[in-house]
Amino acid sequence: MLRRKTLLIRQIAEQNSELQKQLSEIAKERALIDAITGSMNEGLLLLDVEGRILSANRSAQTILNISGDCSGKNILELVRNVDLIKHIETAESGTGSDATLNLSAKIYHAIFSPTTDGILVLLMDITEKFNAEKRRREFSANVSHELKTPLTTISGYAELLENGMMDTDHIPEAAGKIKLEASRLILLIEDIMRLSELDESETPIELTEFDLCETARNAAESLAQKANDANVTISTPKETAIINANQKMIFELFYNLIDNGIKYNKPGGRVDVTMIKGTNKVIITIADTGIGIEKKYLDRIFERFYRVDKSRSKKIDGTGLGLSIVKHIVACHHGVIKVESWVGKGTTIRIKL
């Protein structure tokens, strides 16, 4: 009898040991799963068939603005997003779905998957992708509009000439209009191709050592006649500042910014280019005494085709892409660009490379 009891106790002890080992393994696996889901940027939510929360990782709680321990609570008590609840209810009926949802001021792709014991919800942040797609659509629409305007003018004058509906005296004027609009088209297409090149290029830019001040002076010299015609004075630094960058891009940067400073200036105005060279950085400043920009528009001036004063911009030559190209060039050099402006007093652009 004693022997039987001893065997029984030993068997219970062995089973208890095995059970403890299994519980330890389960605890390790749970800790591993928690560590993995806890480090995920995606929100992961597991609900039972009644909509009660079984598990929610840190990202899901942040996205859904849930604080504290939410285990066992019904999702309806914690979340008020109508679209999210609608898709959860659809999943509860056994049908999976996905949706684009606006949560916590961001855009998420949400996947709702029915499981044997409940519902799995995965929330992926697609804000950047969504905004990029929106910008692409806007860009396509703007390109179409910008191309249509000069083409309509060219087509109209060409039709008049073709049908002999224009006096001989007016033919040179018509030819001049056609040439002007064709030049606008060429500039626009060149800028679009340049932006596309900057967007798509995955190869590192070619860097060389050159004098930054000399490059600024060369850009100013290229625009000297335009500045003279507009009665605008350009000043550039006389010193030397050797940097390691892409010289063609930096020339383009100076050209676009000085050109803008001339176009949106006043007769008798100035465009001043200055720079401060430090040990590991250089700060470039291009300041004009022009018409200035209202503060509410400053965040948008680097958008493609964006014009603050559309009625004035129509009278000024340009494609509306110059500042977008400048922003890309600064980004390619891992720099920072900032703008300050005062209506009626002028605009100052600072670039740190």
Other CB atoms within 10 A of residue 227 CB: 21
Mean pLDDT score across all residues of the chain: 83
340 class by beta-carbon count within 10 Å (0-12 exposed, 13-18 middle, 19+ buried) = middle
pLDDT score of 8 more than 70: no
- High-pLDDT (> 90) share of the chain, %: 25
For residue range 150-172, list pLDDT tens digits in order.
Answer: 888 888 888 888 888 888 888 88
Residue with tokens 């560590």: 35
Sequence-ordered strand ranges (E) for the chain: 43-48, 53-56, 97-103, 106-114, 118-125, 208-211, 233-235, 242-245, 270-277, 282-288, 336-342, 346-352
**Which pair of tokens denotes residue 220?**
């100013």
pLDDT score of 205 more than 90: no
**Domains (range + CATH), the chain:** 2-126 (3.30.450.20), 127-203 (1.10.287.130), 205-353 (3.30.565.10)
Confidence of residue 33 (pLDDT cuts 50, 70, 90): low
- High-pLDDT (> 70) share of the chain, %: 85
Query: So what's the pLDDT on residue 42?
Result: 85
Q: Confirm whether pTM is higher than 0.85.
A: no
For residue range 114-150, list pLDDT tens digits in order.
Answer: 988 888 889 999 988 888 787 777 777 777 777 787 8
